[in-house]
Structure formats: structure tokens, C-alpha cells
Structure 1
Amino acid sequence: MKYRTVGNSDLQVSVLSLGTATFGGGSEFYKAWGETDVHQAKRLVDIAIDAGVTLFDTADVYSRGLSEEILGKTIQGRRNKMIIASKAGFRMSDQKDDIGATKKHLVHACEASLKRLGIETIDLWQLHGFDMLTPLEETLSAVDELVQAGKIRHVGCFNYSGWQLMKALALAGEHHWPKYIAHQVHYSLLARDFEWELMPLAIDQNVGSIVWSPLSAGLLSGKINRYSPVVEGSRVATLGARTSMDDAQFYDLIDLLQSLADEYERPVSHIALNWLLQRPTVASLVIGARNETQLMQNLSASDFNLTNEQITLLDKASHKSAPYPYWHQRSVYRERNPSPV
């Protein structure tokens, strides 16, 4: 396993991390992700730790706290081996104000997460979404109080737009509040929107990128190709997966991934994950697993490196036209606006 420092911080994490949205299955939505119980979770965590994984990612909203509770029962006796990341901000009950990034909600959410996890400090606490109805000053000052109280070690965010992240960083700097060291983002060969604005921002401001759904909900797992369509009842079939590619480009990309996988004698998923690990700012990829087989298959995806030529082939196969204003910046004024990759 390899390790990287997250943004402008002293936090070092494994380049592959274990996502725990599969823990619990507390609703029909989360059952489509997985229904891992405590016994199974302990086994998955054992396997991950043995492979060198240090970062374990959860959120209070995952099965309304059940994921945190189950993860908490796996921590006992090995807290020093685990970096715990959680999130807050999504609705947690039917109470009107049990949502958002207000001070009231965040303080309550943090304390509830700590109790469910059975720990004193969350290593990386991430705002699960941008709250446009709450002044950002209120949010960041509340985070500062939680850091000062020792309940949070580092803070990050999830799915922010460029202006939202930059505003948060600027306000934190102005008021000497803790800055976001990490941004958890959706990024894969099928979802490269991150590269247009958020990656350059992360490079400029030294914010680490933690990638969720690096295999695009299983579309890049190798199970789906020209001859094997999406299986009914699978997570992809139940929840769908976001991609703007048409079928022709998608299957051409899958063909290329398969040829590279054959060359390396590895699963297709390894090629897709390794491509991500070569991208600027990427600190860790969050991989989920319903079972031991899925987890063990992907834990060795970081022990090789694609060549520059192979990366270029994958870049071209997954290319999408730039949106405005980036197509203008990188054509008319390309000399002063190079691609971050």
C-alpha cells in the first residue's frame, strides 16, 4: 500500500480507503449498496488493515447512523491503526432543523457521530454538502469551535462547486479558522468534470482530493461490456450511474481497459483505479465492498503504475469536450491556460 499527505496538512492516508456506505442497509436505498452487519464489517476491516489501509470513510446519514455504529464496533482495540473520516449536513430525522450546516446542527451532529463511533476525535470531518441557506461564517466558526474542543482533527468538504470551496478557503484564511484540507469528489474515467475547475483549484490551494465512486458505481468494474449488459438487481441497475458518454464511446473505453488489463494480467478495475492514482491532487480512492472477494480484488490496484503512453490512451478514450469558459481558455488562450493534467 502507498500513502499520501492530504492537502496542506500533516494527515497521511492510504491511497485506497474503505468506504462504509455498505454497512447497515438501513433503508431500501442503502440496501442497494449493501447490508454488511457487524460480523462481516469486522472481517472487511481486518482485511483492509492487513493490506495497509488506514483511512475508513463513513457519514452520519449512511443508514441514519447505523454505518457509524457498525464501524465503531470494529474500531475497538485498534484505534491507532485507523484514520476515521465522517460527514455531516444531510437530513437525519423528520425534525425541521435536523439538517444543514448551522452551528446547532453541526455541533449536535458531531457529538452524535462521536458517540456512535465510540471515539473522542474524528480525524477528518467533512461537510457533506454546501448549505446556501446558512451563512458560511456560521458554519466555519462552528467547525473552528469543534476543532478547538478536540472533537475534530481536520476538516474537509464534499461535492462543493469551485466558487463555494474558494469562498470557504478565503473566509477561513481571513478569520484564522481551520481550512478544508480535503475535498471529496466524484471522479473517474466516466466522470471527468472534476478536471475543469475543481482540480486546478485544488492544485492552486493545495487541497487534497478524496475520490468517491472511482469505478462509477460498478460501470468500470469489468463486469459490464459489449457482451455483458447491466445485471438486473445490481447496484447499477437499481441506483443508476452518472455518465455523459454514449454507448459507442463507453464500449470503446471498456475495450481499451480490457486490453490493458490483459496486458498486466489484472482485473479491469485495477486499470481504472490506477489511472486515477496518477492524477494531480488525488490523495485517496474510496472503494466500497459488499463482500470479501470484492474488497480483496481491488486492494492491490496501487502496486503498479500505468505508463505515460497508456494513460494518454485512456485520456483520449474518455475525452469529453470542455464546457464554457474552459473551451475558450484552452483554445484561444491555451499558452496561459494549460490543462492541469
Structure 2
Amino acid sequence: MRYRLFGNTGVWVSQISLGTMTFGDALDPLHSGLGALDQQGVDRMVDRALDVGINFIDTADSYGKGRSEELLGRALRRRRDDVVLATKVHSRTGPGPNDAGWSRLHVTRALEASLRRLKTDHIDLYQLHNFDNLTPFEEVLWALDDAVQQGKIRYFGSATLAAWQITKGLGASALHDLHRLISVQAHYSLVRLDVERDLGPMAQSEKLALTVWSPLAGGFLTGGFLTGRFNWDGPLNCPARRSGRAGFHPVKPEPGFKVVEMLRTVATRHDASIPQVAIAWLLARPTVTSVVIDARTMDQLDDSIAASGVTLTEQDLADLDAVSAQPPAHPNRLQQMYAAR
């Protein structure tokens, strides 16, 4: 396993990190169907990940209505110090009016609940899971800064925030002399390049770590749709279709299939699987710190881990870049056009 610096913190994390959306009973509709690993399955998966050198695990208080954190906490009871442990706050955790968002009230309660479920006295990376347009950024920054001062969290970061929202938070931290966001988590894959417009360049400029979720676009980049194992327009028991119905993985089939065909070509060159090449492409991007993988089986986990050993050539990268290329949006297009003039 290779390791990369986590932004500007001096902390080293594995370039493959373990996601936990498949941990638990998947009781909530948003994550239903993504997996339902019980304690035994979680223990095996966590032990396997740590044994091969993964030291970064990502969860959230909303996954499985808290069950993901509970199962992960039990699995880590003897190996807590071996991992950089990340979880998230913002999503609804109960029926009450204050059971979601960025208020100091909710963040403080949610943090204490996550600490109990994870059976730990601190969280290494506490991430804002979405944007709250009702709560001033300063409100949540003060609450998170207090948690750092108290030793309950080491760092805090963001997930599913736009570049302008993150920079607004960074500005507020600088203005009020508070600890700052140190990371960005975003959806990024060969068929979803939105990160490259603003988030990626912003993260590089501000020296923020960038972690990637859904590197296989909800299963689309496994190649299963071309082999007939999955039908993109068909049964809802396909993992990608399930999450796709929630709006997670919108993919245009025709250009997407061309990407998968090129992945297959490159995979043949390296005697690798299509998912391994899709992950290896992300690991070759200069902005990416770590790729979060979620697995339902040990075979899926092992296949994704093996991507860390795939080194793509310049020709491989050029072929994949060409087939996945999208026209730049404004004003990026004009900036690129006149950059050399």
C-alpha cells in the first residue's frame, strides 16, 4: 500500500481508504440496497483492510441510521490507533427539528453520539456532510474549533460542498482565527469530471486533501453493463441502479459505454480488472489524495485494493483522458484559451 500526505497536515493516509456504506442493516431509504454486512462481515473486512496497509476509514452518522458507526466501532476496538478515523455530521439523525444541520446544538449532540457509537474518545477527521444554508458558517466553525480544543476531534473537513462554499469557510476561519477545513470529499470518476472544474483546482491551491467517493460511478464502471450482468435501464436490484435512483450517479449511457470499452482495453494491457484501472486512473490525478472504496464482498474489497499496484502508462492515461474528455465550462474555457497568450 502506498501513502500520501493528507493535505497540509503532515498526516499520511493510504491512497485506498475503506468506506462503510455497506456496514449495517441499511435501514434508511437513501442507502437501502447498498449492503447489509453484519458484525462478523464487518470484522473480516476491517481486519483485511488494515492487514494490507489501509489506515484510513470513512463513515458517517447517517449510514444505516448509525449502525455503520456502531459496527465499525466494535471492529476497531483492538486496533483503533491503527487508523485515521473519519465520520460526518449534518444529515438527519432523528425526527426532531434540531436533528440535522450545522447548528452548535446539533453538531455537539451528533459528535457525542458518534463518539459513543464508535467507542472512541476522539475522531480524527470530522466532515460536514452537506451544506446548511440556514446556519452561518461561523456558527459551525466555532463549534468545530471548540471540539478541536477539547480534543474530541483532530481535524475537520467537508463533503458535498461546492468550491465557493469551502472558500467562504476558509475565509471565515482566517477572519476569526479559527481552525480551518483541511479536506474535501467529492464524487469523481471517469464519467463524472465535475471536480475538475473548480473543486480540484481549489483544493490544490488551498492545500486541501481531496478524497473521492464512488470511483466506479455506482457500479457503472465495473463493466457489468457491457457483459450483460447488469441492465442499465432494467432491474432495480442492480447496485448502480439503486443508488442512481437517488440521483447519486447520473451517467449518460452512450459516452459512458465508450469509457468502459477503453477501460477494458487498458485493463487487458495490464492483466488487470476494469475497476482496478478506473481506480488507478483516479490515483494518477494530481489532485487526488485517497480513493474511498465500498465493498459488499471480500472479493470486491481485494479487487479494489489491488488497484493500488496498477501503474498506468502515459499512453494509458492519454487514451482514458481522450475518451472521457468533456468540453470545459465557462469561464474555464476562455481561461484555457488565452492562458498562453
Determine if the TM-score, normalized by the shorter chain, exceeds 0.5: yes
Count of matched residue positions in the alignment of Structure 1 and Structure 2 = 335
Q: Which residue of 2 aligns with 1:339?
A: none
Q: Which residue of 2 aligns with 1:301?
A: 307
**Per-residue deviation at 1:65?**
0.7
- Partners of 2:296 and 2:326 in 1: CA distance: 31
Among candidates 293, 297, 312, match of residue 291 of structure 1 = 297
- Partners of 2:76 and 2:249 in 1: CA distance: 36
Cα distance change on mapping 1:30 and 1:245 into 2, 3 Å: closer
1:249 maps to 2:250: no
Q: Which residue of 2 aligns with 1:180?
A: 181
**Per-residue deviation at 1:10?**
2.2
- Partners of 2:43 and 2:251 in 1: CA distance: 38
Cα pair 2:88 2:127 within 8 Å, conserved: yes
Aligned residue type for 1:311: L
Which range moves more in the overlay, 221-230 or 36-45? 221-230
Cα pair 1:68 1:117 within 8 Å, conserved: yes
Cα pair 1:84 1:123 within 8 Å, conserved: yes
Which range moves more in the overlay, 281-290 or 240-249? 240-249
Q: Which residue of 2 aligns with 1:274?
A: 280
**Per-residue deviation at 1:293?**
1.1
1:141-187 Cα distance to aligned partner (Å, 9 max, x none): 11000000000011100111111010111111222211111101110
**Per-residue deviation at 1:316?**
1.0
Aligned residue runs from structure 1 range 141-180, under 5 A: 141-180=142-181
1:237 maps to 2:241: yes
Aligned residue type for 2:149: Q
Q: Which residue of 2 aligns with 1:127?
A: 128
Give unmatched runs, 5+ long, in structure 1.
Answer: 337-341
- Partners of 1:27 and 1:203 in 2: CA distance: 35
Give unmatched runs, 5+ long, in structure 2.
Answer: none
Q: Which residue of 1 aligns with 2:138?
A: 137
Q: TM-score, normalised by structure 1?
A: 0.95
**Per-residue deviation at 1:245?**
5.4
Among candidates 317, 325, 334, match of residue 319 of structure 1 = 325
Q: Alpha carbon RMSD of aligned pairs, Å?
A: 1.5
Cα pair 1:226 1:251 within 8 Å, conserved: no
**Per-residue deviation at 1:311?**
0.7
Cα distance change on mapping 1:69 and 1:245 into 2, 3 Å: closer
1:169-224 Cα distance to aligned partner (Å, 9 max, x none): 11112222111111011101011010011111111100110101011111111222
1:12 maps to 2:3: no
- Partners of 1:229 and 1:46 in 2: CA distance: 30
Cα pair 1:212 1:287 within 8 Å, conserved: yes
Q: Which residue of 2 aligns with 1:42?
A: 43
**Per-residue deviation at 1:247?**
3.0
Secondary structure of the corresponding residue to residue 124 of structure 1: strand
Aligned residue runs from structure 1 range 44-59, under 5 A: 44-59=45-60
**Per-residue deviation at 1:28?**
4.3
1:307-327 Cα distance to aligned partner (Å, 9 max, x none): 122111111100111222222
Cα pair 2:277 2:310 within 8 Å, conserved: no
Cα pair 1:125 1:154 within 8 Å, conserved: yes
Q: Which residue of 2 aligns with 1:100?
A: 101
**Per-residue deviation at 1:328?**
2.1
**Per-residue deviation at 1:27?**
3.0
Cα pair 2:276 2:310 within 8 Å, conserved: no
Q: Percent identity, aligned pairs only?
A: 37
Q: Which residue of 1 aligns with 2:339?
A: 334
Cα distance change on mapping 1:307 and 1:45 into 2, 3 Å: same
- Partners of 2:38 and 2:305 in 1: CA distance: 21
Cα pair 2:157 2:181 within 8 Å, conserved: yes
Which range moves more in the overlay, 235-244 or 66-75? 235-244
- Partners of 2:248 and 2:336 in 1: CA distance: 25
- Partners of 2:106 and 2:305 in 1: CA distance: 36
**Per-residue deviation at 1:297?**
1.2
